[in-house]
Structure 1
């Protein structure tokens, strides 16, 4: 009788390399998780090992803003500053999905940081892949992969400001909104609701005309509430106890790095406030909860699709929809009843009952 194979699986070997901090392991692990390059079974096995590994969670900074504000120029400078302070940094640049391949449409445009790539900074472009909130579902998984790889900070750059960008709240501890003069960012941000969730504001391209007006407009909008009128930027101690974080507005010039040090300092102040107030772990728990909900929905859809195929329900519905005066909403109701009841004859009986009632 042959002895059982006790050799580690490919997922176990990659997980071990990731824990050991090997240079290519992080890139390979992310490819497995995002694209399933190791094969579906191996990729799921790796993800199970990643989530079972007890590690400290990295500080996740979500960076959003309308197109043209200069996020892609600002992010590499910010990553470099954090790395120079001793942190291991991962940048996840979420790009629009290619309509053909499904991959990141803009590819590695984030890698141009102006000069040689800094040590301990890993850049990766990922596609939205139709994810809700402008973020791929796998972003939460990639953050956990980064944690297992020993990284301290993850910068998540989103596609652009708008209602869809509020999804960055699902993964980030700190949200940075990047604006620029002449783009009407303050008005767009207010309409989208992004101003209500951003913790730090950066008016980029501050060397251009109108930059001071843009910053002043943002500050005014942030202080519209009478309760906030006398708040200073940053941490405010309240009379009744506790603290209030008033989002600061800073000016930066991404092409030269002007203002990036001050921006890094303000972001760190927000991180320290979260930890001091005991909010850090709650945000991590909410990220895991939302990831569980997303995976649950995907699993339900997968099981329902398999059940529909096994029950051979679609041919009858497709034939019915091909008839004149077909009602797609009624067909959907009948399909749901059939699948949930587990009986294919529900289609016929439901159809007859509807006709009878009319």
Structure 2
């Protein structure tokens, strides 16, 4: 495919067109992903998550500038919420990082969630694979910032930065249960504000209580807008990937993520098969009526449909 060859040669416009193709779920999407598969698996994928207003975009901007100063190529996927009414997205992250967009070693793609839950877009993984194949050393995924439901990033990233700021009212609202467990590095941004030390102390206390972790995530204080603490943060990101590779966790994490992706693809195809069978001649409606009338229960109806598919 000509677009793939142009993308492999470093053509950013071809890269953008390929992402558009897979994002729109066109007929070409699977063909593209099959063709580029052998070129993937080399990028260090960094997930940046946290509540709205934590300064994730500013932090992303500073990390990227640090990495490109080291001669690295960086891809950015910034996910923004989609309006449930208009279906549109503001996609403001690209505006905030406008100066980076002109850099030949940086590629920025904004994506709307299109109603997909979990903090990412449904097509984030596909865009990630294209940037990986295009030869970007680091790919940063900035999630929506929706709170405790935002855990899909664990299925995608190698290193996850959990970003929080002091003064949000409930100081530990962003580090409850699931969110607390996905962070590889905890970043207290805007740490020049009152309450930063308290927030850092509370995060450290939560980490001390979590005895199940093999590696205790570092807790770093930064002021992204002033570029303070970014060098130390990038060092910790590199230390984390070194830890993953030397401990064998890197291969383990990627294998687990691939298992999840394969199962999700199988589920999607099975769903199409089930829908095609249940929609025939309004069979589902008639079976639902039987359930309502207590003629059958939901498990009997399930078994009937499954047996029909098998036969």
Q: Residues of 2 paired with 1:112 and 1:329: CA distance?
A: 60
| Aligned counterpart, 1:337 | 303
| 1:107-165 deviation digits (Å, cap 9, x = unpaired) | 24344137454441111122334445332342222221111111111111112253322
Instruction: Note closer, same or farther for the CA distance 1:135–1:222 as it changes in structure 2 (3 Å cut).
Output: same
Alpha-carbon spacing, 1:315–1:246, altered in 2? closer, same or farther (3 Å): closer
Q: Helix, strand or coil for the counterpart of 2:111?
A: strand
The structural deviation recorded for 1:335 is 4.6
Q: Deviations over 1:155-209 (max 9, x none)?
A: 1111225332222111111111101011156522342332222111111111211
- CA 1:314–1:202: 2 relative to 1, 3 Å: same
Report what 2:256 is aligned to.
286
Q: How do 1:81-92 residues align onto structure 2 when only pairs under 5 Å count?
A: 81-92=66-77
1:272/1:308 Cα in 2 relative to 1: closer, same or farther (>3 Å)? same
Take 1:127 and 1:156, find their aligned partners in 2: how far apart are those partners? 13
Q: Aligned in 2, Cα 1:331/1:106: closer, same or farther, shift over 3 Å? A: farther
Change (3 A) 1:291 1:250: same
Q: 1:315 to 1:122 in 2, by over 3 A?
A: same
The match for 2:29 is 43
**Structure 2 residue aligned with 1:29:** 18
- SS of residue matched to 1:223: helix
TM-score (norm 1): 0.77
1:4 corresponds to which residue? none
Counterparts of 1:208-219 in structure 2 under 5 Å? 208-219=193-204
CA distance in 2, matches of 1:42, 1:114: 30
Where relative contact order (Cα < 8 A, 6+ residues apart) is larger, the structure is 2
- Relative distance call for 1:41 and 1:209 in structure 2 (3 A) is same
- Uncovered stretches (5+) of structure 1, i.e. residues with no partner: 1-11, 229-243, 344-358
Measure, in 1, the Cα distance between the counterparts of 2:295 and 2:239.
52
Structure 2: how far apart are the matches of 1:334 and 1:50?
Answer: 44
**Unaligned ranges ≥5, structure 2:** none
2:240 maps to which residue? 270
Q: Does 1:169 align with 2:154?
A: yes
Distance between the aligned counterparts of 1:297 and 1:200, measured in 2? 33
Cα 1:265/1:81, change in 2 over 3 Å: same
Query: 1 CA distance for matches of 2:15 and 2:225?
Result: 29
Q: RMSD of the alignment, in Å?
A: 2.8
Q: 2:225: which partner in 1?
A: 255
CA distance in 1 between partners of 2:118 and 2:83 (Å): 17
Correspondence 1:155 to 2:155 = no
Instruction: Assess if the C-alpha contact under 8 Å between 1:63 and 1:155 holds in 2.
Output: yes
